Amino acid sequence: MSCVHKNVAKWHLFHTEANLFRRVRTVKDPESSHRPIEEDEDEDEENAQYPPEGNILRQMLTYIFEHKKIPTVLPPDKLRPDKYPEQLFPSELFCMECPAGTPLSEAVLITSKAKILTVTNVIEGISTYRRNCHRCGMIYRYQEWTDGVHNFDDHILISHHLSLYLRNSLQTHQAVGSAIEVLQETSGKQFPSKQRMLQAYLSFEALTEHTYNYSCVSCDHHPSTVIMDLHKKGVFNMPVSSIEDPPPEFQGRVSATTFWDMVSLEMLSRGLVPSNRSNPFVVPPSFHNWAPWVGPHTRASDDILNTEYCKVMPAHPPTGGEFNITEDRLIDELLKLKTSGIDHRGSRMDLVLRLQKEMKSRATYDKVFSKIWGASGGWAVVTCPCGIIYGVKFNLRAESPRDFTDILMSMAHLPNVCLYDFARGLASHANGRQPLTFSPNEGRLLPSTEENVKGALEGRARVSLPWLLTKKAVPDKDGHPVTGSSEHYALYDRFHESNTKDPRDSLRKVELVPELRGWVNSQCAEQLFSGMRKKQPLPQHDVSLDPCLFNEEYTSHI
């Protein structure tokens, strides 16, 4: 507590000699602009709440996110500077939010015990400072990339070299925790906890100005052939039943840029908000604000389809005594029953009621949870035949053709050939939502006549698609930019083509197309997942969902 006599003296001088309290700032004197405030010099500004809360916190993080971007390619001298500064001041001298350019306060010390973490060392005794605007309350902290460091929480700063080291570790299937262990053993220095280091790295990626210009060298941004599969290990422990229904005006489209910017702000906020419980930037899973990822050069627009809420919301209300349920919902509930070992026989109503009853038991809940991919539905992934990912949808419920249709319909150009383990269901669902999405022949290679079916079953049928190799000289109307064809087929991958019992599905075999036979690797998606399971420790069920999505966004082949 400050001295009462000193405060009385200040009050008296303020009324008799007000000019003594007037401050004159100039940007020409860097020494004065970086002079830290002493404890008794200006208690009001020094005692301003930090980290801030409410609107000031949102204003501060938004300013950092919009004006402190880290370049995609860092200059070599910024990756490994010869020396790091010991005192880190914000570069702003005037408020960027006030229209009159209000001068900021003197620099206020946040801590003198901050650490700069590098690949080879932990530099201690670093001082970080902030400045305040007395007019709007805005707070500015040190957030400059030009010194070769990234400020995470004013106490932990990581060098750009270390950030790139962690990025390359993830891209070569090594977890951040393992990489930190290696650094600790090599340097003999103690690093912060693995979870804190992961959060610091993710905040670096959130502030990096990624361009996403990468694409497959063979397929470019618009692949003509795609393979679709579900990554069943990308699951999370979360109460899906507690997710609220979307608002009535929701039309099944989510802004990709807005959603991923919100996730980026959450990553940045972890350096200022100690707990998720009090963090206003947390992005909870929801049906109306949960965007799939489709590359910016691949998608048709910024609005991405996500109609997963339709799995649990019938298109029409029940009528009479009939319990009306969507096909997606029935598949979802039936899948839960079959995989968890609960009796799946009976009417539609029986299936739903039986599962609801059994889930009240904690033992049954744990069993169901462990067998149904951690309650969430895994990751629906769309790749080209080269194994490059073009779209990912993070399912909240069990997989269905609807998830892959959302991704395909969000693309600027629908691929000519789509390989999927339930091709018939994909074509039926897509054509039900938008007629002739898969045509001709409802996505089959030939009309479903008895003669054609017999020829396909006996291995005699052949359907040549020469435009897969050479673009049509005269492209079709609305033809694909790579092939020039407007034909779209839904075919089975080699591994699942014998699972169907419908003879007409023999007309969806990849082997019928000479241009695809022996060339397209219909198992590339499963091989990609297999490699991830072997080489990269996946998130555990108790890990927060958003950091894992954010991590996957920046380390996938998108």
Instruction: Determine the pLDDT at residue 415.
Output: 97
Q: 160-171 and 176-187 are packed helices; what angle lies between their axes, rounded to 10 degrees?
A: 130
Q: Same structural domain for residues 241 and 272? A: yes
Tokens of 245: 């229904």
Whole-angstrom distance, CA of residue 40 vs CA of residue 491: 76
42/139 same-domain check:
yes
Give the pLDDT score at 12: 76
Do 240 and 110 lie in one domain? The reply is no
Q: What token pair was written down for 514? A: 């000479």
pLDDT in tens, 346-359: 555 666 666 666 65
β-strand partners of 158: 117, 150
* The pLDDT of residue 33: 45
| 538 DSSP 8-state letter | P
Contact 105, 93 (CB under 8 A): no
Q: Are residues 144 and 240 in the same domain?
A: no
Residues contacting residue 130 through CB under 8 Å, at least 6 positions apart: 50, 90, 107, 108, 110, 139, 140, 141, 142, 154
User: Cα dist. 178→77, 149, 273, 378 in Å?
Assistant: 28, 22, 26, 25
Q: Indicate whether 275 belongs to any domain.
A: yes
Which amino acid belongs to residue 265? L
Q: How far apart are CA 175 and CA 168, in angstroms?
A: 10
The total number of structural domains in the chain stands at: 3
The confidence score (pLDDT) of residue 545 equals 46
In a domain, 247, yes or no: yes
Helix (H, G, I), strand (E, B) or coil at 537: coil
In a domain, residue 299? The reply is yes
232, part of any domain: yes
Q: Please tell me the predicted confidence (pLDDT) of residue 499.
A: 72
Tokens of 538: 């996946």
Q: Cα separation of 22 and 47, whole Å?
A: 20
Are residues 49 and 198 both part of a single domain?
yes
Residues of the chain predicted below pLDDT 50 = 1, 23-33, 38-43, 316, 318-323, 370, 373-374, 537-558
How many Å apart are CA 48 and CA 247, to the nearest integer?
39
- Asked if 406 contacts 328 with a C-beta cutoff of 8 angstroms, the reply is no
170 in the same domain as 35: yes
- The two tokens of residue 437 are 């999405």
Q: Vertex 235, ends 367 and 404: CA angle to 5°?
A: 120
> Residue 294: inside a domain, yes or no?
yes
Cα 492–Cα 497–Cα 498 angle in degrees, nearest 5: 165
Longest Cα–Cα distance in the chain: 106
Q: Show the domain range for 441.
A: 416-522
Q: Are residues 119 and 179 in the same domain?
A: yes
Output the pTM of the full model.
Answer: 0.77
Do 282 and 169 lie in a common domain? no
The 3-class secondary structure across 435-504, one letter per residue, is CCCCCCHHHCCCCCCHHHHHHHHCCCCCCCCHHHCCCCCCCCCCCCCCCCCCCCEEEECCCCCCCCCCHH
Residue 407 resides in a domain: no
Contact predicate 521/218, CB 8 Å: no
Q: Is residue 46 part of a domain?
A: yes
* Integer Cα distance of 475 and 480 in angstroms: 8
Do 481 and 341 lie in one domain? The reply is: no
Inside any domain, residue 382: no
Indicate if the alpha-carbon torsion angle 261, 262, 266, 269 is positive or negative: positive
170 and 63 in one domain?
Answer: yes
Identify the H or E element spanning 339. helix 327-340
Are 366 and 244 members of one domain?
Answer: yes
Q: Is 317 exposed, middle or buried (0-12, 13-18, 19+ CB in 10 A)?
A: exposed
Q: Please compute Rg for the chain using Cα positions.
A: 29
Sign of CA dihedral 202, 526, 384, 262: negative
Q: Is residue 134 located within the same domain as residue 250?
A: no
